[in-house]
């Protein structure tokens, strides 16, 4: 689910920050998934992001 992906990306980014690591790709992924979630896709499979990226 997209909701879980957003949660997991947030956790991964928190660990990276705590370890003083830069995670630019993780931040970008969270931004994309958060926008997808806010568009009403939170309950959908995480692979549904492909539809958003194709359009």
Q: Please answer whether residues 4 and 24 qualify as being in contact, where contact means their C-beta atoms are separated by less than 8 angstroms.
A: no
Q: In this structure, is the dihedral angle defined by the CA atoms of residues 33, 39, 43 and 44, taken in order, positive or negative? A: negative
pLDDT in tens, 7-31: 999 999 999 999 999 999 999 999 9
Average of per-residue pLDDT across 26-53: 96
Q: What is the pLDDT of residue 41?
A: 97
The answer to whether the pTM exceeds 0.75 is: yes
Rounded to whole angstroms, how far apart are CA atoms 43 and 5?
Answer: 11
Domain total in the chain: 1
Which domain, by its residues, includes 38?
2-54
* Alpha-helix residue ranges (DSSP H) falling in the chain: 2-18, 24-36, 49-54
């Amino acid at each position: 689910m997209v909701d879980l992906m957003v949660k997991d990306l947030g956790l991964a980014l928190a660990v990276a920050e705590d370890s003083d690591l830069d995670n630019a790709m993780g931040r970008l992924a969270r931004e994309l998934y958060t926008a997808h979630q806010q568009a009403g896709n939170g309950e959908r499979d995480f692979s549904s992001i492909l539809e958003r990226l194709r359009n």
